[in-house]
Structure formats: structure tokens, C-alpha cells
Amino acid sequence: MYDKWSGKTKLKKKSRLKIHVAVDIKTKEILALEVTDKKVHDGKIMPKLIEHILKRSNKKKKFRIKSVLADGAYNSNKNFKYLEKKKIRPCIKVRKSSIIAHKNNMIKNIEVNF
């Protein structure tokens, strides 16, 4: 649509979706999938994915999550605490600007130190 006052074309903003996937890296099997709006922060989705995997677990196929590999978008103290509570080893890229703090999870502080 052409705006007669500014002389510019107005484009409709497209809504975007994000897909969050949990994959077993040995079998390459998709274990959980979550589709969100672009406004939802990645870090809030990780607990949902893990809970979905654990709920899917049955007597035939028992899922035990040993570790989680994730990019820096999942780097939050809340996620580190959640993983510690579930006894899951976090392998999450910490941001360069991260600092060691008493309020941080111990494992996150160790990762920041490296």
C-alpha cells in the first residue's frame, strides 16, 4: 500500500514463528518440539522441552537425560538451577559478559570462570 503523505510504501509486518527442538544426538531422534511466537524468549522453553521428554518416558523406553547442549540463548540462571534440580549436566554457552555472582548457580559460575 502506498502512503500518500510520506511517499513510502507500507509493508505488512509478517508474524514469525520459532521452532525449538530437542534431539537425541546418538539416535538423531526428535524427542520434543515446541513452536512459539517470535516474542517468546528461547530460555523459557527449555524446561518445557525437558518436561515433555520426561513425561513421554514409559516402561518400554525410559528416557534419561544426562546432559543438555544449548546455545547462549538458553543461558539463564533459572535454566542452570532447573538442570541442577533435575540432575542434568548443562553444556550451555555462557555469554562473554557473564560474571561470577553469589546469586548464580554454582555450575554457571564454573562455566563463566573458563
- What is the predicted pLDDT for the residue at 19? 92
The pTM assigned to this predicted structure is 0.69
Would you say 82 and 46 are in contact if contact means Cβ atoms under 8 Å apart? Answer: yes
- What is the predicted pLDDT for the residue at 72? 81
List pLDDT tens digits, range 54-112.
Answer: 888 765 677 788 999 888 888 888 888 899 899 998 888 776 655 555 555 555 555 65
Range 8-24 average pLDDT: 78
Say whether pLDDT at 4 is over 70. no
Sign (positive or negative) of CA dihedral 30, 54, 49, 69? negative
Residues 38 and 96: their CA atoms lie apart, in Å, by 24
